[in-house]
Amino acid sequence: MAPAAVTIANGATWQDVAADRQRYRDATIAEVHPPVPELKSEDIPLNTTGIPKKLLTEEEIKITGTNVEELVEKITSGEWTSTAVTKAFLRRAGLAQKLANCITELLPKKALERAAELDKYLADSKKPIGPLHGVPISVKEHMGFKGEDANAGFVGWVGQVPEEDSLILQYLWDAGAVFYARTTQPQTLMHLETSSNLYGATVNPCNTTLTAGGSSGGEGALIGLRGSILGIGSDIGGSIRSPAANNGVFGYKPTTLRLPGDGWTVAMHGAESIIGTTGPLSTSLEGLRLFSKVLIDQQPWLKQPSLTAMNWKDSAEFFPDKKLRVGVMYNDDVVRPHPPILRALTELVGKLKHSPDIEIVDWSPWKHDLAWSIIASLYFADGGADVRAAIELSGEPWLPLSKFILVDNPRVKEHTITSLWEAVSAREEYRTKYAQLWNETASSSPDARPIDVILCPAGPGVAPKLETSRYWGYTSQWNLLDYPAVVFPVADKVDTLEREKPFEYPEDYVPLGEEDKYIYDLWKKHGTEGYKDAPISLQLVGRRNQDEQLLKATQILLEKAGLPAVVPS
């Protein structure tokens, strides 16, 4: 049990509360043994990803370099104990905190107790306790955690301590998981970055001038540094996909209401016009699939009845001949992606075109600006009153990206019931039209088969400079439509000026609008050098509730393009 926290209820200032949270975080890291190596800030280069390998033991590097699917095998076969695995990840996560500021607390005591239990179970019964036996899983802070703080990024909420784990933790626990680290998130949970008054900003380990993305940015950075190989995020506008893309790891936003959400800490409880979902980030595509399958196989709808009672489908059911019809969208007609993204997408499509099994079709975006209008008018249907109250509770300052999305966002308004119903009707009309357009792609196919997936950017660029993540359209589009989406790295990063040239903006480029101008200006200002070493990622999108098909399609697509389905360790 965490010690009683300093809270505003006890009369503390927001600064006191934040300082105490950071003290607490550091104390939990100090409990790790052997101690997490100290770093001098002058030793830290812009790209920190090489540091853990210099400071960890060979065994720790090997363990943390293993992906979920192999790790389960190595633990259940007895090659590594759960205890050894847990210790390795605790050490690497502690280091990740010093490099990227991504941890709210480590849980060495609880995690090692659990690991010991699992080791004993395996020794006694000669079988694993479940399909995730011994897998360390990192957890975004706002997933309710028994006996730990649940502040969701608001200083004023510090001191809330759930009496039981959120449902997703319960199911993962039953499957054998070890929870050892909790990770940062931004104020409001509604930034595509991760900055709060509690912990400051989480930075990108590949280039610390860039954001790790958000709101699951703690997960993104931690997994980017392999301080975790599987983490729990959540996504209502890009919050799993932006950090996955920015850190070059795999991320998956499922169709809503397939994975458990009960017991998370969020503002606007009861809002259901646009809903978020939990989902995984991982160093492997298989990690995403295994996480989801393990949860759904436990029939979580029996405890959270809002969930869809839909069994996890065996991926062998889909695309048995491994032929895919892929719609490609280079540009959403609102914001032109930065050159590295256009280059990577073009190169990937070029590779796919060489495969006789892949058919590439153009996908024309249909009014993605309207889509943003609709979703932005539904995010804060109370005009932001509930979030505002949560911020103002402690007197903590409004962070710039909170102001951007809520205060300065012209689409936010306080709805009446009647205007809410109108906006919901507009949402449904949009969804129906988009479905119709997707159906119509069958007409261009010799066998009248619509496209299987849409391949598109995961954002307007690679990881943005801090506080510049102000265009959500490439991710929020699929939240509005409730389409599942996977983000994957293309095994490439921003490095050489030369290769970007064919994708540079034309000399006489005229921005499509204000948002495009903003993104264009960022490129002109920072260019290749400014985004140096940022991973390049893309997004694959499926139809609503066709999650299993999407994951299988991603696997096939990577295979056909000759790309790895794991992040190199």
Return residues touching a copy of itself (CB under 8 A). Answer: 262, 268-273, 301-306, 308-310, 381-383, 385-386, 414-418, 420-425, 428, 431-432, 434-436, 438-439, 481-482, 543-546
Q: Please tell me whether residue 170 adopts helix, strand or coil conformation.
A: helix
Catalytic residue, chosen from 138, 195, 196, 239, is 239
Catalytic residue, chosen from 87, 98, 138, 140, is 140
Q: Which is closer to a copy of itself, CB of 272 or CB of 408?
A: 272
- The H-or-E segment that residue 52 falls in is helix 51-55
Token pair 């039209």 is found at 433
List of long-range contacts for 362-365, beta carbons under 8 Å, 24+ apart: 362/327, 362/328, 362/329, 363/327, 363/328, 363/329, 363/441, 363/451, 363/454, 363/456, 364/329, 365/329, 365/331, 365/332, 365/333, 365/334, 365/477
Q: How far is the CB of 313 from a copy of itself (least distance, A)?
A: 10
Helices (H) and strands (E) in the chain, counts: 19, 15
315 catalytic, yes or no? no
Counting every residue written for the chain, the total comes to 569
Q: Which is closer to a copy of itself, CB of 302 or CB of 316?
A: 302
- Residues 297 and 299: their CA atoms lie apart, in Å, by 5
- The H-or-E segment that residue 364 falls in is none
Q: How far is the CB of 44 from a copy of itself (least distance, A)?
A: 44
- Residues 163 and 292: their CA atoms lie apart, in Å, by 25
Q: Which is closer to a copy of itself, CB of 10 or CB of 445?
A: 445
Q: Which is closer to a copy of itself, CB of 346 or CB of 439?
A: 439
- Residues 391 and 154: their CA atoms lie apart, in Å, by 6
Q: Which is closer to a copy of itself, CB of 234 or CB of 441?
A: 441
242 catalytic, yes or no? no
Catalytic residue, chosen from 196, 215, 228, 292, is 215
In our burial notation (b when 16+ CB lie closer than 10 A, e otherwise), range 134-152 reads: bbbbbbbbbbbbbebbbbb
Q: How far is the CB of 273 from a copy of itself (least distance, A)?
A: 7
- Residues 1 and 32: their CA atoms lie apart, in Å, by 16
292 catalytic, yes or no? no
Q: Which is closer to a copy of itself, CB of 33 or CB of 433?
A: 433
Q: How far is the CB of 307 from a copy of itself (least distance, A)?
A: 9
| Catalytic center residues | 140, 215, 239
